[in-house]
Structure 1
Amino acid sequence: PLKEVLGGSLGAEVGNFNLKNVTDKFSKLMYSYPFRVPSRFALIIRAVVSQEGLALRLDPEFKILKIAYPYIAKKLLTDNSEEILDILLEVVFDKKGQIQIEKVESLLNILFRDSDNINSDLIPVANAGLKLFVSKKGSEVRKNLLLSLIKDEKLEFTDAKKLLALIRDTFSPMNIAKSAVQNIISTV
């Protein structure tokens, strides 16, 4: 039954996701099964659906996930809680522990496609990434990165080179300097 509700939404492109359609289908499903949504959760859903509806009236091309994605990407890349780290690892590494460069690139592109975001978010993301990498929690990341170098019992550096190039380009000294200057200016 949940596959009927979410199947089309999860398979569709992120830009085509419509929260109202999902909640309408989910509401029908709830009448068929003994399931209760906590009142606070229901109020939050109702508020978000109402805001999406208002935005769609003002702009029929409005996509709620297009707006939410940069926030989600920043949360994944800067929050150091156990839950968020687990989600980040699921996104960045496949089931075999191999890094998925295109997903890392997608997260960074989503977060930094706006020049204001690259200036304000670059240092916090770099800082969180370095802290994670050298921390105890980062052992899973380090292990998976090392395992990503081994494919078919051979050392394979293609993904490592792509990852290093992505990090080099995103966190270049020029971008870090721009971000630092922007952060100083915004605090003055």
Structure 2
Amino acid sequence: MAVVAIVACVLFARQPSQAETRVSPLSATAPGVNIEIPTSTGRVVDQTATLSNDQAEALERKLKDFEKRKGSQVGVLIVPTTLPESIEQYSLRVANQWKLGRKNIDDGVLLTIAMNDRKLRIEVGYGLVAVLDDLSAKRIIDEIIVPQFKLRNFAEGVSEGVDRILETIDAAPVPATNTLHGSELPHK
């Protein structure tokens, strides 16, 4: 996936609640060794239990419905860390491996959040950069996601950020949904 992206350092504190269960975080790797890319099990992959099951399922349904209607594929990945890689490198590797977006249209978007690193990034396929450009992505991060994260409203920040991404894509002409997909994301 060829991409244009925006990255932000998020100023929020992340401390797991006592009721929170951690989902097998990726182990640390030696310097210079890239961490493994998680398998795409759907449109939402949360390795940190930041989202409850209900929140993740609601987001999954929203993204599935959008993809059926509009054709563009949007994914959300929440990981503990991307280190030793930068979030830019890691997000690009994930977007390429997951093959987000339709082949020859490149209309995929990936919202990557590294909770322990306090960083997030929106990767945008070239087919959408005229609509969801760097400035638009920066505004979504700075005006929607980060303010919620600072209040420790992580699920709301993710959901509202995704809503704005979808609204932005929805406002633009994108090829019809009957265009062949580059890959089919697994459906839950």
Instruction: Determine if the TM-score, normalized by the shorter chain, exceeds 0.5.
Output: no
Higher helix share: 1
Higher strand share: 2
Relative contact order, higher structure (CA 8 A, sep 6+): 2
TM-score band (shorter)? Answer: under 0.3
